[in-house]
Amino acid sequence: SDSLDWHANKSHLTQELLNLEAIINPTKRYKPLSQSRPLVTWERGYWHIDTDSWSVSTQLNVWNMLEKTIKRGAAGYATWCEMTGRRRCDGSLIGLGKIKLWCWGDEVMHMYLLLYTASLRKVAKVGAQWRSWNGDVIVQMKDDRDRN
């Protein structure tokens, strides 16, 4: 049968995501402060990132890298990103605001590593959260914004 087997232990990881894992040591870079439960391969959720403390150039570099990676299929099937966007009164964009990077449960660490690379490590300091489809926080990363 050609139908999807939702119970199969198949991976959504692309070769590029696996290569990223090999290049960036995840045991040093991916250290959740907390995780409320195990992640499931087929569950949907998103990385929630507040980019307001980043320079506009960093925000745009992150967005451009995510856009290019997703468009060429390197981030895997059904991965996409959204931004809230901060705008001036005239409607012009002055920042990304909050980013949502949607992915599957088995891609959570790899998407964090992608964000880590794209943001030049800045994502490690903003309290990134991976949230389930309904907004429940499942993975909480460190937040260094309040530290001097």
Task: Tell me the pLDDT of the chain (148 aa) as tens digits.
Answer: 445 555 555 677 777 877 777 788 777 888 999 999 999 888 999 999 999 889 888 998 999 999 998 888 777 778 888 888 776 777 777 777 889 999 988 888 888 998 998 898 999 999 999 999 999 999 999 887 655 4
Strands 98-104 and 137-140: unpaired
- Decide: 14 and 69 in contact? Cβ < 8 Å: no
- Decide: 15 and 75 in contact? Cβ < 8 Å: no
* Cα separations in angstroms, 91 against 38, 53, 69, 82, 95: 41, 21, 27, 18, 12
